[in-house]
Amino acid sequence: MRIYQLFLCFFLVSALGQFHGFADTPIQGTITGITAHRGNSSDFPENTIPAFESAISLGVDWAELDVHKTKDGLLVVIHDANTAKVGDKNMTIAQHTYEELKSVDVAHQFRQKYDLALAKCPIQTIPLLEEVLALFAKGGNTKISIQPKMDCVKEAIELVKKYNMTNKVGFNDGNLAYMAMVKKLAPEIPVFWDRPHNTDIDADIKIAKTHKFEAMVINQQGVTADKVRKVKAAGMEVGAWTVNETAAMKKLLALGVQRIYTDEPQKLMILQKDRETVFCEGRYKQHLQGFCVDKDGNIYWSWTDRLVKTDAQGKILASVAAPSHQGDLCVANGKVYVAVNLGRFNEAKPLADSWVFEFDMRDLREIRRIPVPELVYGAGGMAYRNGKFYIVGGLPVGFPDNTVYEYDSQFKFQKKHALNSGFSLMGIQTIAFVNNSWWFGCYGKPEETLQCDENFKLIGRYPMSTSIGIDSAKPGYLLTGNNKRSAMVGHLGYLQQQKISGK
């Protein structure tokens, strides 16, 4: 079964029958209600200034934060009543002054979780709500959703008005008294009332309408098509919290949920434009170099220093460390083959050390290492077709054309194929035989994809980014790899379909 067929089956199931077909163009009526939960907390320590700066930079609609009151009456931004979960010491917020609380490094647990150096993830102190309001007041369109974790609504609204932020702030929580207080003190500020998964939606709607709340945000496990319909029919927005899994995001988008709280705002932004996207579970220190798909729909992801096997939805099935620098890969006869360069790439004086590493498809156990010394400028991309392996690689500056190296099933060198492609930056990174054509992904500005016939005669050039992997998709499309770098926690890899359009 082709990967796009697996995609379609998965999406139909995950949408509970509500979503049909592929999204060839950006989805019409795409929601804009992305709320970065505690800031962009997948990439930065939660509820810190860097997390909020990142949310603003991403351009999400909302950033959610939590508020407690210190012993000396200041409002600080932190989720729990103490610092144990995030900090390097445990201090109860209400029992300490702000000056005392500033001694806690609230980036400590995040740094340990991702094994980050202090230079990569600097010390962070608990921010004042006033600091965060001032940050969002500077510019950008991102608004703040404030969740009071104790009786401090009055003080929070006073700060909001001090910074003239009533048009850029909302409040969310499940505490009815707190949310009613918001509407009493500042009717113009929207309220997003949090509800549990097993809420009585009919009773809640009556209460929300009485208090003139603007939205109801339901625990994601309790969101149904019926609840979505009823909340919308009552003239309110419907939201869900806290949603980090790709499948859940797709389901909620398909149901028409308008406000989604997530620790993974970048994932949700990508899915809004293309619900077919498949993410590789996890974040990786080095970037994605290639991917391939087996006949069962399992996906093999070649990171620079790690090989990962996932199911068709991106859930990890196996993962092994690998020597750097891994390149593209292919599957054949129950094995995974990865192009690897242990030397220097793209040097006119050949300094490459080119290999193919062979792994078992089931558990990614390394079987053997096969030298391919013909790749004198480095092994980059590789593919398998009709019992033959084809490998491409580096190209030093000034060299006129790329070359494909052909090997038999035992990796005995057969011959070279000249592409007559002209120079491409760092040669060719990826290769695949799709829809009766060879496709080659090249770096460059802009990046370029080359199309050749089965005899390697150049027949097309496309302004497409396929240098992180190519595989088959539905007719007229290529399945391509993508890599998004996080400032702190590493790289996010994902697959999308790209429509072939030449120039």
| Domain-wise residue ranges, the chain | 3-273, 280-499
* Model confidence pLDDT, tens digit, residues 347-386: 888 889 999 999 999 999 999 999 999 999 999 999 999 9
At 312, give phi and psi (nearest 5°): -65, -15
What per-residue confidence (pLDDT) applies to 24? 26
Quick one: pLDDT at residue 444? 84
Q: Does the pLDDT value for residue 12 go beyond 70? A: no
Task: Please report which confidence band the pLDDT of residue 465 belongs to, taking 50, 70 and 90 as the band edges.
Answer: very high
| pLDDT recorded at residue 214 | 98
Q: Rounded to 5 degrees, what are φ and ψ at 40?
A: -80, 80
| DSSP label of 214 | S
Integer angstrom CA distances of residue 107 from 44, 84, 156, 197: 8, 11, 24, 31
Tokens of 251: 């389901």
Nearest to 266 by CA among 27, 19, 78, 491: 491
347 close to 295: Cβ distance less than 8 angstroms: no
Q: Which position has the token pair 């057969």?
A: 414
What SS3 string covers 397-457? Answer: CCCCCCEEEEECCCCCEEEEEECCCCCCCCCCCEEEEECCEEEEEECCCCCEEEEECCCCC
Task: Classify residue 206 as left (phi > 0), alpha (psi -120 to 50) or beta.
Answer: alpha
Question: What is the per-residue pLDDT for 265?
Answer: 96
Q: How confident is the model at residue 502 (pLDDT cuts 50, 70, 90)?
A: low
Q: Is the pLDDT of residue 219 over 80?
A: yes
3-state class of 195 per DSSP? strand
CATH number belonging to domain 3-273: 3.20.20.190
Mean pLDDT computed over every residue of the chain: 92
Domain 280-499, CATH among 1.20.120.1200, 3.40.50.300, 1.10.3720.10, 2.120.10.30: 2.120.10.30
Q: What is the average pLDDT across 163-184?
A: 97
User: For the whole model, what pTM was predicted?
Assistant: 0.88
pLDDT recorded at residue 284: 95
Asked if pLDDT for residue 17 goes beyond 70, the answer is no
**pLDDT tens digits, one per residue of 18-53:** 222 222 222 233 447 999 999 999 999 999 999 999
Q: What percent of the chain has pLDDT over 70?
A: 93
Dihedral of CA 359/435/7/280: which sign?
Answer: positive
pLDDT, residue 323, reads 87
Residue 377 · residue 396 · CB < 8 Å: yes
pLDDT at 128: 98
Please indicate whether residue 502 or residue 163 has the higher confidence score (pLDDT): 163
Does residue 429 surpass a pLDDT of 80? yes
Continuous H helices in 34-128: 49-58, 98-101, 108-113
Q: How do beta strands 366-371 and 335-341 pair?
A: unpaired
Give Rg (Cα) of the chain.
Answer: 26
Q: Read off the pLDDT of each residue in 189-195 and give the average, rounded to a whole number.
A: 98
**Which of these, 244, 249, 281, lies nearest to 262 by C-alpha position?**
244
pLDDT for the residue 69: 98
The residue among 336, 374, 335, 341 whose CA lies nearest residue 355 is: 341
For strands 169-173 and 191-195, give the pairing.
parallel
Which of 64-78, 102-116, 473-487 comes out lowest in average pLDDT? 473-487
Q: Which two tokens stand for residue 68?
A: 């407690």
Interval 288-312: pLDDT, tens: 999 999 999 999 999 999 999 999 9
